[in-house]
Structure 1
Amino acid sequence: MKNLHSLGLSIFIALLLSACGGGGSSTTVSTNTTTNTDNTNVSTTASKPALKAASNAELESLLKQQMLDMYGTAHSIYNGCGGDFCYAVPVAAATTSPTATADTSKSVSSTNTQETDVDEADRIKTDGTYLYTTATDQANVRIFKTNGAGNTLVKDLPLGNDTNIRLTGLYLDSNTLAALAEEQQIYSIWSRWFMPSFWQNQQSQLYLLNVANPENPTQTAKLTVDGQVISSRRIGSTLYLATRSTPSLVGLVQYPTTEAEAAANRTLINNATLVDFLPDYQLNDGSKNAIFSGTDCFMTQYTAKKSYQSSIISLLAIDMNSATPTPQGKCFAGDTETLYASSDAIYLATTSYSYPSDTAASSSIAYYPPSITTDLHKFSLAGGINYRGSGRVDGHLGGQQEQKPFRMSEYKDVLRVITYNGDNNLTTNPSPARLYTLQENTANQSLDTLATLPNNTRPQALGKPGEQIYATRFLGDKGYLVTFRTTDPLYLLDLSNPADPYIASELQIDGYSDYLHPVGDNYLLGIGKDAIAVDGGDSGRGAWYQGVKLSLINITDPANPSEQQKIIIGKRGTETAVSQSHHALTTLQQGNNLQVALPISLHDGAANYPSGASTYYNWTQDELYRLNINTQTGTMQALAPIVSETAPSSPNYGYSSYQWSNDRSVMIGEFIHYLHGDKVISQAW
C-alpha cells in the first residue's frame, strides 16, 4: 500500500464508476480469438471497437440523440450523480536587444520525454542561452538570459487580456515559441474526467511567438480552438493536439427539472444543425471557422448506443511556423483520456466498462464488478493525420494521468500495452497486470492482438494479488514494470518476439518506483518511495511509504538484475515532483557521468506525533537534489542540494511550500538553473 496502499482511492474510484455510469459502453463484449505459435488463445479484434466514417446526416443524428438523452428529460435530482447520469460539481494571472545566438558548443539538457524524438510541453524550455518559462499565477511568458552562474529576467510578456486563463506548457522550435493556454477552472478531478459538462463551452489557446530576438519577442498568431486540450506533442515544426469538447447550445437548460424546460431543450436540439455541434477555431480573435466537416469525423461502435457522453474528440495538426496556423485533422464522437505518440503514429486510449445485463434492475449494482476494457485508436502521421485502426484490451491504464502514456509504446510497428486488471477490492486476482502486443491489420482497420502475458504457455503472473501498477517503461525490445503492495517487484520483460513475450526476471526490493529512467546501457534509475511493511511483514495489509527512494538497478544481465545502489532522501512526508511529472527530472550526459537533478520537498524535521512507520515528519525545505551517476561503474554520488525555500523557525511548522510540484531545472554546460515558482536560481554544477 502507498499510505496503506491508497485503498481509499481505489475503492472511491470503484464506487464512483458504480454510481455514475462513467464514460463507456453498457453493451456486451464479444471476442474473436486465434492461436499463436505457442498455442495460446489471444484476442484479435475483441468486439471490434473500430471507428467508422460518418456522413453529415449520420453524425448529426447521433449527436442530437445523445443531446436529447442528456437534456431532453426532466430530472428531479441533481447533486453530483442523480437521475440517469452524473454532472460536474464545482468545488472548492519595449526595447531592442541583440538577436539570440544559441551556444551550440555547450551541452544542454532538454525536456525529459517518453520518446527521444517526440517533444512534450513543459513550463520551461531553453535554447542554450535563454530560458523560456511560464508564470505561476499569470498568463505570462517570462524569459531569462543565462550568464554562467547567473541569470537576468529580460522579458515578462503577458499573453492576452483574459485574467482567467493560465499557461499549461511551452514548445520551442528554433525561433518559434508556442504557448498553450486554457481557462482556469476549479473542478474536482472526478468531474474533469468522468463528467461531460466539464468539457462544455471550454476553449484552448495557442500563442505563437517569434523569439529570434528573445529580449523583444513578437506574437505572430493566436489560435483558439473549442475544447480542452487532453494532451499534446511536437514532432519537428508540427504541433499535435488532442482536445475534447462537449456540444452545447445557447439557451440550453443544463439540468432541466420541469417538463417545460425539457420540452424547450428538445425543440432547441431538434432545430440545430451539425455545424452547431462540431468544434470551431478562431485565428487572432477573428470570426469562427469550422474545423471539420462530417466526412472528417468518425463514430465509435458504442456511440451508436444510448450514451450520456456526447463528447467530440479532435486530433489536430498545427504548423508552428505558419503565419496563419490552421488546425487540420480528424475527430470522432466518443471519449478519450490520454495520448501516446511515436514519431510515426498517435494512439488515443480510453477506458470503458459494462455491467452484467442481469444486474440492471438490481439495487445492489455496486456489488457487481464491471468488465473494464480500454479502447485504442491509431492515427498515422505520414502525409497528415489518417485513421489506421482500433483495438480493445482488458483492464485500464491506471488513475495517474501522467503515467498513462507510459503504459503504451510502439516499437517496429508493434504497440505494447500494460493494463491493470486487479480486483477493485484488492483480493484474489492472480495477475493484476497484463501485457498486450498489438499490430495494425490494414485489411479491416483493426489493431489485432499478437500475444498477451500471462498466457497458457507462460502463466507467470505480472504482480501479486492486491498489488497496484506503479512505474512502467518500454525501452527498445525490453519492458519494465513495477507493482507494489508491501515490496517492489520489478519485472523485466523480453519483447524481442512480440508474438511470444515473456518475463525475463523479477527483482524484489523495498519500496516502489513511480518513474523509471534509463542510465546508459546497463542501468535503470527508479524514483519513488521507500516503504515499511505493516507489522514488519506481509500481513496482507500493505506498507507505509517513507522518504523518497532512488534505486539504481543493474540490468546488464536481464535474467539476473540487482539493486546496485540506493539513496533514501528524507523521512515520511518527503515528496519529489518526479512522482507527479517526469518533466521534473533533468539529466545531462557528460562523458561517462550522468548529471541528475530532481526537485524535493524535504520532510526531515521533528515528528508531528509519536514516531512510528506511519508518522509524518515536519517540512524542512524545498530543494533541487543533485547527483552524479557513473554510467560505466554504476555508482551514485550525491552533491549538495540547491535550497530554494526553508521552513519557518517554528518547530511545529509541518507544511511545505505549495510550489515544489512545479519545480523544474535546466543544465547548460557546467551550470544548472533551478526554476522554483517564478524565480530562477543559477550556480555551477
Structure 2
Amino acid sequence: MKKKWFTIGGIFTVITVMFSFFLITQLKVVSGMDTRNDKTIVLQNKIWKFNFSAKLDPKSVNEKTVYVIDEKGQNQKVKVNVSKEGNSVIVEPPDGGYSLEAKYYTLHLSSDIKSALGKKLLSGKSQSFEVKDTLPSVKSKTALNELLLNRVKEEEKKHKTGFSISVKESSQESAAADKSGSNYSETNVQVQGIDEADTVKTDGSHIYQVVDEKVQIIKAAPSDKMTLESVLSFDHSFSPYQLFIYEDQLIILGNSYGKMPYPTQKEIAKIAIAPVHETTKAIIYNIENKQTPKKIREFEMEGSLLSSRLMNGKVYLIANKYPDVWILKDNPEIDIRPKYSDSLEKPGLQPVDFDHIQYFPGSSETNFTNIAVIDLDKPTEKISVSTYLGSGNNLYMSKNNLYIAVSNYYWFPHIDGKSEQPDTTVYKFNVDGMKVEFHSSSEVPGTVLNQFSMDEYAGYFRIATTKGYVWDDKRPSANNLYILDENLKQVGKLEDLARGERIYSARFMNDRIYIVTFRETDPLFVIDGKDPKNPKILGELKIPGFSNYLHPFDENHLIGFGYDTKVSGKGPGNQPIILTDGVKISLFDVSDMSNPKEKFTEIIGGRGTYSPLNHDHKALLFDKKKNLFAFPITVHQNKPNSEYESTFEFQGGFVYNIDLRTGFHLQTKLTHQDPQAPYEEWENQINRIIYIGNSLYALSPTKISSYDLNSYHQQGELSLKK
C-alpha cells in the first residue's frame, strides 16, 4: 500500500515539476499591462512598453500581431519595435500623438507572438485606454484612496506570483564661466544662473555656514578681523543642512521630524488623518542686521528633500513623500494626502487640495512628489504648492524646464535567477515663474548616475544611461546616450558604448558631450552632438584610473577629478581585481575632438585618499580669471609592503594653479588639523574653500582661516568653538 502511495506521489511530483517548467518556459507578458482598470488613462504621446518572459522572435512582432484600434475599429498608425535586448515590445504613438476625438483605444497583442525558441504567447492580450491632454487629478479622497489601494494590490499580486514588480527609488552653459559680476566665489553649480543650495554661502562681506545643527553668520571682511556676528539655533526636531542667500534674505533648508511621538497602529485606526514622519522645511530670515536676523517666514511640506534650486528670485523645492499606504487596508477612509504649512497662513499642517494632486497614468507609483515655489521678491505672497503621485531620484533644471528621473525596476524570473536591470522614466515640467506644470514624460533604457547625466540644449533633452551588469559576460553592461525633442520623443541615440563598463561621469558642453566609463581603464568618449538626430563619437581616450567629476576649463580643455587605479591579481571568474589608489586630477586637451589627449595628470596620496569633490561638485572652488582650482581633501599614504593598508597623512585644502603649457601647480596646502594627531579630526576638517576679494578662506566646523591670494600668507583666524 505504501509503495502504491509512493508511486502515486512520485507521479504527482513529476507532473507538478513538468507543469511548473511548462509555465516558466512559456512566453508571457510580465509587465506593461495595466490590469487595474478596464480603461486606463494615458497622455497623447504615450509609449507602451511590454516586457516578456523571454527573448522574442522579431519576425513575429509586426502590424498584424501588435496593433491599436479606436472604438470604431479603425487601425492607428503606430510604430512597433522590439527592444535592443529582445524581450520587450515598444509601441510608439502616431505622429502628433493619439487623437483626443476618439472615445477610447484598444491595443492588442496577438497570441501569434513567439519567443526566439518558438514558444507562442499563452493567450492574446489587450489593453484599452482613454487619452487625455493633461494629467488627471484625483478629485476626492475616495478616488485617491482607491487609486492607492489598487496599486498596492496589483504590486502584491505581482510579488506573490513572482512575475513583475515595478519599484521606483529614490541649457548647458558652462557653470565654470568667470564670475565677472562679483568679487567673491559662488557655489559651483551645473547650469549658470541657477543656484544650488549648499552648506556654505557668502555674499561678499559675510560667510554663512551650517555647523552642528546651527547656522553661523560670520563677518569675513576685513579678513584679519573676522568676527562671529550671530548663531541661529533651532528646535531639536529641525536639522538644517543647506542654505541660499538672496539679497537681504537667508533661506535655511532642512528636515523636520515633528514633535509628536509616532502613534501605534491601533491609534492610527482611530484617527482620520495619516501621521507625519518627516517634512522638508524652509526658514526665511531677513538679514539686513546680521547680529539680529529676523525670521519672516517658515514653510514646510511632507517628504524628504530631493533637491532645490534658486532662479530669478524664486526658490524651487522638490520633496519625495513615501506615505504609509498600509494604513488604508485597516482604515480606507483615512486622509493620506501630503500636507504643508505656511507660518503666514493657517497654523499647523494643512492637506493639499485634491484638485491639486495629479497622477501619472499607467504608473504603479504610490509615492508623492511635492513641488513648492517661494517668491523671495514678494516674501508675503502665497507659496505655490503642487503634488504628483510619483517620485524621482535625480533632478535637472534648465532656465525653462525641470526634469525628474526615476528608476523603474521590472522584476521577473529568469532561468539564471537574475532580474532585468531598471530603465528610467523622465518627467518634464515647464517652469514659468511660480508655475511648475507637467509637460510630458518618456522612458529610456538604463539608469542615470546623477544630475550631470542629464542636460537640455537648443530645445533637446540629452541623457546618458548605463544598462546591464558590469562583470557579467552573459548580460554585459552597455552605456547609452539618448536625445529627445521638446515632447520627449527620441530623435537620436548612441548605444552600446564600452560594453562591460558603466558610466562614472558625464558632462554636456553645448554641442560637445563627454562621457567617462570604467572597468579596468578609463575611456573618455568625445561626442559631437551638433546634429541631435545623429550624435557621433569623434574620439576615445583610454587611460588608467577614472574621473567621477568632469569640469570645463575652457572650450577645448576639460578637468577630470577621480581616482588612480591598479590591477591586483585575479578574482572569481578570473576577473581582474581593481583597486583604487590616490586621487587623480587630469587635464584633457579636446581641441582635436577626434584625438583627445590627457595632457597633464596629478596623483595625490595613495589608498584611502578621498575628497568630497569625488561625489559632491559643490566642494570645488574654480575661478579661471584668478587661476584658482581648490578643494578639500584627506590624504593617506600606502603602507610599505602592504596591499591594502594605508596611513593618515593630511586633511585640509589643496590649492592649485593650472597652466595649459605646464600643467597643475600646487600653490599651498591649508589645514586646521593638529600636526601631531595620528588620525583625522572631524571637528577640524576643512569642508569648503571660498574667496572674497583678494582673500582665500578655509572653513571647518571649529575654525575659519584666511589667506592672501597672492602670497598665501595667513591673514587671520577665527575660532568657532563654543
- TM-score (structure 2 length as normaliser): 0.71
Aligned: 1:231 with 2:307: yes
1:611 to 642, 645, 648: 642
Q: Answer yes or no: is the 8 Å Cα contact 2:517–2:546 preserved in 1.
A: yes
Q: Corresponding residue for 1:393?
A: 444
CA distance in 2, matches of 1:66, 1:605: 54
1:543 to 553, 578, 583: 578
Q: Corresponding residue for 1:589?
A: 624
2:334 to 251, 255, 272: 272
Q: Corresponding residue for 1:281?
A: 341
Q: Corresponding residue for 1:668?
A: 692
**SS of equivalent to 1:385:** strand
* Closer/same/farther in 2, CA of residues 33 and 484 from structure 1, 3 Å limit: farther
Aligned: 1:602 with 2:630: no
**SS of equivalent to 2:671:** strand
Q: Answer yes or no: is the 8 Å Cα contact 2:424–2:446 preserved in 1.
A: yes
Letter in 2 for 1:599: P
Q: Corresponding residue for 1:336?
A: 392
CA distance in 2, matches of 1:72, 1:429: 29
Q: CA deviation at 1:633?
A: 3.7
Cα offsets for 1:162-184 (capped at 9, x unmatched): x1321121111111111101037
Cα offsets for 1:94-113 (capped at 9, x unmatched): xxxxxxxxx99963211000
Q: Corresponding residue for 2:251?
A: 178
Cα offsets for 1:181-236 (capped at 9, x unmatched): 10379xxxxxxxxxxxx996211110111122323321111112122211111101
Q: Corresponding residue for 2:49?
A: 29
Q: CA RMSD in A?
A: 3.8
Letter in 2 for 1:374: T
Aligned: 1:378 with 2:428: yes
2:591 to 546, 556, 562: 556
Q: Answer yes or no: is the 8 Å Cα contact 1:150–1:683 preserved in 2.
A: no
Cα offsets for 1:54-93 (capped at 9, x unmatched): 2444774243452577599999xxxxx9xx99999xxxxx
Q: CA deviation at 1:532?
A: 0.8
Cα offsets for 1:124-177 (capped at 9, x unmatched): 111111111111x2233433423235532221121x32x132112111111111
Q: Answer yes or no: is the 8 Å Cα contact 2:589–2:599 preserved in 1.
A: yes
1:305-454 → structure 2 map (5 Å cutoff): 307=364, 309-324=365-380, 326-356=382-412, 359=413, 367-370=417-420, 372-383=422-433, 384-398=435-449, 404-423=450-469, 426-429=472-475, 432-441=478-487, 447-454=488-495
* Closer/same/farther in 2, CA of residues 511 and 425 from structure 1, 3 Å limit: closer
Letter in 2 for 1:508: K
1:149-160 → structure 2 map (5 Å cutoff): 151-158=226-233, 160=234
CA distance in 2, matches of 1:109, 1:199: 43
Letter in 2 for 1:466: G
Letter in 2 for 1:637: H
Q: Corresponding residue for 1:13?
A: none
**SS of equivalent to 1:534:** strand
Letter in 1 for 2:228: L
Q: Which runs of 5+ in 2 are unaligned?
A: 1-30, 35-47, 51-65, 67-77, 82-88, 99-130, 170-178, 259-273, 710-722
Q: Answer yes or no: is the 8 Å Cα contact 2:218–2:226 preserved in 1.
A: no
Q: How many residues align?
A: 568
Q: CA deviation at 1:299?
A: 1.6
Letter in 2 for 1:419: T
Q: CA deviation at 1:375?
A: 0.6
- TM-score (structure 1 length as normaliser): 0.75
CA distance in 1, matches of 2:514, 2:302: 38
Q: CA deviation at 1:122?
A: 0.1
CA distance in 2, matches of 1:557, 1:215: 54
1:10-29 → structure 2 map (5 Å cutoff): 29=49
Cα offsets for 1:383-436 (capped at 9, x unmatched): 5212111111011113xxxxx111100001100000111226532556621100
CA distance in 2, matches of 1:526, 1:87: 31
Aligned: 1:139 with 2:214: yes
Q: Answer yes or no: is the 8 Å Cα contact 1:374–1:394 preserved in 2.
A: yes
1:512-661 → structure 2 map (5 Å cutoff): 512-535=546-569, 540-590=575-625, 594-604=627-637, 606=639, 610-612=641-643, 615-630=644-659, 633=661, 635-646=663-674, 648=676, 655-658=679-682
CA distance in 2, matches of 1:639, 1:53: 55
Q: Answer yes or no: is the 8 Å Cα contact 1:477–1:494 preserved in 2.
A: yes
CA distance in 1, matches of 2:623, 2:565: 29
Q: Answer yes or no: is the 8 Å Cα contact 1:203–1:224 preserved in 2.
A: yes
CA distance in 2, matches of 1:618, 1:128: 39
Letter in 1 for 2:597: S
Cα offsets for 1:554-611 (capped at 9, x unmatched): 1111111111110001111100110120000011222xx520111110112745xx32
Q: Answer yes or no: is the 8 Å Cα contact 1:571–1:616 preserved in 2.
A: no
* Closer/same/farther in 2, CA of residues 492 and 319 from structure 1, 3 Å limit: same
* Closer/same/farther in 2, CA of residues 71 and 134 from structure 1, 3 Å limit: farther
Q: Which runs of 5+ in 1 are unaligned?
A: 1-23, 36-40, 76-80, 89-102, 186-197, 255-264, 399-403, 442-446, 455-460
Q: Corresponding residue for 1:491?
A: 525
* Closer/same/farther in 2, CA of residues 525 and 496 from structure 1, 3 Å limit: same
Q: Answer yes or no: is the 8 Å Cα contact 1:121–1:232 preserved in 2.
A: yes
**SS of equivalent to 1:406:** helix
**SS of equivalent to 1:450:** strand
